[in-house]
């Protein structure tokens, strides 16, 4: 078994393991703005911490389905491993991927991207990419990652000012992290990942309108599509690097 295949297998195992820890955090964070994070399970038992199995004291599971979350996280990690190979930035993508899955779940549930995730994610991405840039055989550029975070964050902030109903401020904060990871592989990847995110979001909105499940002014969670677009851009950027 060659090294690339081993890395894909290891990525799948990693994704499945950390994916099992996502439902508890997703359950605790899926609250409306200004509401405190949940600290009790549906049966009223205290939840001890953010990391761990999402099960009540009687063994009943809560939150999003763990099997599905594990499978999705594992597939995301495998895709990143196959695209990136054994380059040092793969470790960065594998550490950030579960946070992206968590943000996607929370935004779909309550249309919210918590600051406790988005802002640390941007900082963590830049710090980890700086470490990857110091290692041999990396295929990206840290300065472009930094500029990508700033440019995409500013661009989304302008869109937020122009149309606050279409672009939430949480999306602006998320753009800092997405710009960093996309910028690692260059400006072409930034453009591609951003375009894909808007395309996915637009298609989802049109689909809801066509099915008469939403109107033209209905608010939809945009973060999951920005993350999905960034994932596609990252895969293509990693393959091309």
pLDDT of residue 214: 66
The C-alpha atoms of residue 231 and residue 227 are separated, in whole angstroms, by 6
The closest alpha carbon to 115, from 228, 223, 19, 231, belongs to 223
Structural domains in the chain (count): 1
Collect all residues with Cβ–Cβ distance below 8 Å to 167 and sequence separation of at least 6: 156, 159, 160, 222
Domain of residue 34: give its range.
Answer: 3-240
Confidence (pTM): 0.94
Terminal CA-CA length for the chain:
24
pLDDT of residue 216: 64
List, for the chain, all residue ranges whose pLDDT scores fall below the cut of 70. 1, 214-218
């Amino acid at each position: 078994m060659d090294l690339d295949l081993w890395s894909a297998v290891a990525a799948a195992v990693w994704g499945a393991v950390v994916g099992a820890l996502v439902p508890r955090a997703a359950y605790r964070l899926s609250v409306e703005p200004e509401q405190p994070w949940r600290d009790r399970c549906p049966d009223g038992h205290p939840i001890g911490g953010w990391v761990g199995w999402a099960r009540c004291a009687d063994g009943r599971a809560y939150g999003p389905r763990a099997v599905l979350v594990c499978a999705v996280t594992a597939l995301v990690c495998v895709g990143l491993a196959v695209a990136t190979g054994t380059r040092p930035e793969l470790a960065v993508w594998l550490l950030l991927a579960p946070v992206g899955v968590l943000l996607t779940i929370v935004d779909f549930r309550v249309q919210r991207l918590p600051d406790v995730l988005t802002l640390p994610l941007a900082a963590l991405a830049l710090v980890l990419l700086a470490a990857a840039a110091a290692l041999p055989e990396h295929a990206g550029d840290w300065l472009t990652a930094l500029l990508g975070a700033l440019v995409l964050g500013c661009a989304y902030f302008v869109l937020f000012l122009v149309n606050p109903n279409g672009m939430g401020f949480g999306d602006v904060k998320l753009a800092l992290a997405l710009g960093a990871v996309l910028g690692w592989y260059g400006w072409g990847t930034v453009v591609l990942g951003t375009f894909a995110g808007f395309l996915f979001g637009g298609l989802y909105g049109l689909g809801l309108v066509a099915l008469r499940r939403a109107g033209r002014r209905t608010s939809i969670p945009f973060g999951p599509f920005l993350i999905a677009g960034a994932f596609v851009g990252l895969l293509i950027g990693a393959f091309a690097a």
